[in-house]
Amino acid sequence: MLHHALHTPSVAELLEAVDKIAREVVGPAAASVDAESRFPSESIGALRDGGFLGALVPAQYGGLGCSYADVAMMCTILGRHCGSSAMVFAMHQIQVACLVEHCQGVPHFDTVLREIALDGRLLASATTELGVGGDVRSSICAVERDGDRFRLEKNASVISYGDYVDDVLVTARKDGDAAASDQVLVHVQRPGLELTSNGTWDAFGMRGTCSIGYLLIATGDVAQIVPVPYSELSERTMLPVTHILWSSLWLGIADGALDKARIYVRAAARKNAGTVPLGARHLAVAQAKLEAMRGNIESAITEFDAVRREQEESPSLGFAIRMNDLKVTASTLVVEIVQTALLICGIAGFRNDTPFSLGRELRDAHSAALMVHNDRITEHNASLLCIAKDV
Amino acid sequence: MTDRATIIRGIVAEHGKLAVDVATIADADSLYGAGLTSHASVNVMLALEDEFDVEFPERLLKRATFESILNLRGALDALLGAD
């Protein structure tokens, strides 16, 4: 494993290693992951073996100690080759980020962080719940406390890759008397975790995420409850990191699709030197959108890193608005860019049996607007803009 | 004249959509703990701005401001001077 190497690998070496995994393992598996709607075991296995499931875990716990910018780039690299693998990787990293930012120094979580780094435990999220209408900031289920022990039962509408997870971070009301919005995040793991699936995942995109519903029943020690209210953790970390890493992998999907279009255009240009191929204009427009997408992500990471450093100060409304805007814009641009790549590659892109096939990328891209629906996010921003001043 | 804390309580009762009766909440109690959502906090802010004819500057538009009736009162006092 990389983190056992004699020297501390540089960021460039780490990104190169992820790129190698993406080209040699993730990309070759992508078609069968998509066709069979199966978990990308080989992709996640290779990333685990490389120590990348502990990418965000600080070095003192045995992790790679990568920055958010580094992990965002990893998501982009993976997204170029397989949207589902990149999404599983991103969702895992989002959970790790919550523990890294809010749980260091808490004995139970120090152990968890070490295990993520050294054993490559895979984390998933159970924030959605049947009956709350898609609002992850409210819960029906509650942590039922009994002395130092708790029990938690949640009808989770989705736990992506739930059959393959080691640990789950679950939202719930902090106790039986708490209001729906008064939530905590609870770390649960086997043997104190029982997941019973109650559905199938046969979607037209992101088929490898295996995003099915589960009845989750967990027991454990109250030390497994994240010591910060979920409202604060969500605002400071989970929401911004989610939007940054999702946008980064969508950038990868867009860039992967556009790369097929670039090859197509260059080949056409060579055949007819002196004439700019028809598709080249489309390529120029799509390339500009790709750069806008990348710029949005970079500026969001810069702002997020600044907010992280200011632990005493709660983030501004402008920060929340901009993180939301990042998601809405990136999820819109990824579809536009992949569609443009399809226009450029034409029938070769439409067919499923050419090097230019774009079906999977286009189908995966369409999930972006729906994962935390853009309508919900835009409505939230609309309401914030009724009071925000300096944005 | 109705004091600020009472007016704030009235507005929180009307717009806060709390899970409990505002009368049962102490000035320092957490409004988030009482069920105040981010969406409802926007409406509380708008109603306060209208009632006191004031605009909350960006630096006060933070979770901490809405944490309790006491904090809302403090924010208004800072903007309007003590009543």
Interface test with A, best of B25, B30, B32, B65 (most A CBs within 10 A): B32
C-beta atoms of A383 and B39 within 8 A: yes
C-beta atoms of B49 and A387 within 8 A: yes
Q: Is the distance from CB of A239 to CB of A381 less than 8 angstroms?
A: no
Looking at residue A10, the DSSP 8-state letter turns out to be: P
pLDDT digits (tens, 9 = 90+) for A155-211: 999 999 999 999 999 999 999 999 999 999 999 999 999 999 999 999 999 999 999
Mean pLDDT of chain A: 96
Q: Which of helix, strand or coil describes residue A170?
A: strand
* Strands A149-160 and A144-146, bridge-based pairing: antiparallel
Judge if the upstream peptide bond of residue A191 is cis by omega within 30 degrees of 0.
yes
* Strands A211-221 and A149-160, bridge-based pairing: antiparallel
C-beta atoms of A181 and B49 within 8 A: no
How far apart are alpha carbons A327 and A146 in whole angstroms? 40
Q: Mean of the pLDDT values across residues A52-78? A: 98
Residue A331 pLDDT more than 60?
yes
| Burial status of residue A334 (CB atoms within 10 A of its CB: 0-12, 13-18, 19 or more) | buried
Per the document, the length of chain B is 83
Q: Which two tokens stand for residue A96?
A: 């790790």
Alpha-helical regions (H) of chain A: 11-21, 27-36, 41-49, 68-81, 83-102, 107-119, 230-233, 239-271, 278-309, 317-345, 347-350, 359-365, 374-384
How far apart are alpha carbons A68 and A236 in whole angstroms? 14
Collect all residues of chain A within an 8 Å Cβ-Cβ radius of residue B33: 178-179, 182
Q: Which of helix, strand or coil describes residue A81?
A: helix
Smallest Cβ–Cβ distance between B38 and the set A137, A314, A389 belongs to A137
C-beta atoms of B61 and A137 within 8 A: no
Q: Is the distance from CB of A229 to CB of A184 less than 8 angstroms?
A: yes
C-beta atoms of A137 and B64 within 8 A: no
Q: Which of helix, strand or coil describes residue A177?
A: coil
B54 touching A, CB under 8 A?
A: no
Tell how far CA A286 is from the center of its chain. 23
Cα distance from B78 to chain A (closest Cα, Å)?
Answer: 18
B45 touching A, CB under 8 A?
A: yes
Q: Mean of the pLDDT values across residues A271-297? A: 96
Q: Is the distance from CB of A97 to CB of A172 less than 8 angstroms?
A: no
pLDDT digits (tens, 9 = 90+) for A302-313: 999 999 998 777
pLDDT band at A131 (very low <50, low <70, confident <90, very high): very high
Map tokens 């998501």 to a residue.
A75
Map tokens 């632990």 to a residue.
A311
User: Which residue did the predictor score with more confidence, A113 or B58?
Assistant: A113
- What residues contact A359, with CB distance under 8 A and at least 6 apart? A350, A352
Q: Is the distance from CB of A380 to CB of A234 less than 8 angstroms?
A: no
- What residues contact B66, with CB distance under 8 A and at least 6 apart? B31, B32, B36, B41, B44, B45, B72
Q: Which two tokens stand for residue A276?
A: 């700019």
Q: Which of helix, strand or coil describes residue A133?
A: coil
Q: Which of helix, strand or coil describes residue B34?
A: coil
Closest-CA residue of chain A to B54: A387
Per-residue model confidence (pLDDT) at position A6: 60
Q: Number of CB pairs < 8 Å for A and B?
A: 59
Per-residue model confidence (pLDDT) at position A314: 81
Cα distance from B31 to chain A (closest Cα, Å)?
Answer: 10
Q: Which two tokens stand for residue A325?
A: 């805007």
Longest dimension (CA), chain A: 79
Q: Is the distance from CB of A290 to CB of A251 less than 8 angstroms?
A: yes
Residue A3 pLDDT more than 70?
no
Q: Mean of the pLDDT values across residues A100-112? A: 98
| Burial status of residue A271 (CB atoms within 10 A of its CB: 0-12, 13-18, 19 or more) | exposed
What's the complex ipTM? Answer: 0.84
How far apart are alpha carbons B46 and A142 in whole angstroms? 31
Beta bridge partners of A169: A125, A187
Smallest Cβ–Cβ distance between B32 and the set A182, A318, A383 belongs to A182
How far apart are alpha carbons A92 and A234 in whole angstroms? 15
How far apart are alpha carbons B78 and B83 in whole angstroms? 10
Instruction: Supply angle C-alpha A342, A81, A238, rounded to 5.
Output: 105
pLDDT digits (tens, 9 = 90+) for B19-53: 899 999 999 999 988 999 888 999 999 999 999 99
Q: Is the distance from CB of B11 to CB of B44 less than 8 angstroms?
A: yes
Measured over the CA atoms of residue A308, residue A309, residue A312 and residue A316, the dihedral's sign is negative
